[in-house]
Chain A
Amino acid sequence: MGFGQFLKAPEYDIKIITYRDIFQSTALESSGCGDEYAERSAVILLDKGDLKKMVLKDGRKAVLKNNFGRVVVHLRPSGYEEGHEGIGYMTNSPWSNALVSSETGGSGVPKFKMIIASISDAKDEKVTSFDV
Chain B
Amino acid sequence: MENEYYVCTGCGLLCDDIEVELVDGKVSKVNNACLKGVARLKECERPAECRIDDAPASLEDAIIEAARILKEADSPVIFGMGNSTSQAQKNAIEVAKKTDAYFDDTSSFCQGPVVEAILENKIRTCTLDEVRDKADIIVYWGADPSNSHPRHLSKYTYFPRGKERQRGWEEDRTAICIDVRKSDTATICGDKFYQIPPQADEELLNAIANGLSGKVPKVSFGMGPKKILELANMLKKAEFGVICVGLGLVYSLEEIEPLVRLMDKLNEVSNFHLIPMVGQYNMRGSNHNLYEETGYINRVKFTGNDVEHGAHCSVVELLRTRTVDAALIIGSDPMSSLPGSIAKELLDIPVITIDPCNTLTSRKAKVSIPTATAGSECGGTAVRMDGVEVEFKAMTETDRMCDAEILERIMGEL
User: Which of A's residues lie within 8 Å of B, judged by CB?
Assistant: 15, 17, 19-23, 25-27, 29-34, 68-69, 80, 82, 84, 87, 89, 92-94, 97-102, 104, 106-114, 130-131
Contact = CB atoms under 8 A, between A and B. Distances in A.
- Output the residue of B38, B108, B360 with the most chain A CB within 10 A: B360
Interface in B311-360: 311-312, 314-317, 320, 333, 335-343, 357-360
Given A31-B44, A108-B314, A82 B198 contact: no
B311 A34 contact: no
Interface residues of B, number: 51
A109 B60 CA distance: 37
B331 to A, nearest CB: 12
A18 to B, nearest CB: 9
Interface stretch (B50-58, B141-149, B383-391): B141-149
Interface in B155-205: 180-183, 198-199
19 contacts: A22-B35, A22-B147, A25-B148, A26-B39, A29-B44, A30-B44, A30-B45, A31-B45, A34-B46, A102-B320, A102-B341, A106-B311, A108-B311, A108-B315, A109-B109, A110-B316, A113-B198, A113-B248, A131-B360
Contacts of A82: 182
Given A17-B180, A102-B342, A33 B359 contact: yes
- Output the residue of A82, A87, A104 with the most chain B CB within 10 A: A104
B181 A19 contact: yes
Given A20-B148, A109-B316, A29 B10 contact: yes
Contacts, number: 133
A29 B43 CA distance: 9
B393 interface: no
Given A29-B10, A110-B109, A113-B198, A130 B312 contact: no
A69 B109 CA distance: 20
Interface of B: 10, 34-36, 38-40, 42, 44-46, 108-109, 144, 146-148, 150, 180-183, 198-199, 247-248, 251-252, 299, 311-312, 314-317, 320, 333, 335-343, 357-360, 363
Contact of B144 (A20, A29, A99): A20
Nearest to A36: B45
Contacts of A104: 316-317, 320
Given A100-B340, A108-B311, A130-B360, A19 B183 contact: yes
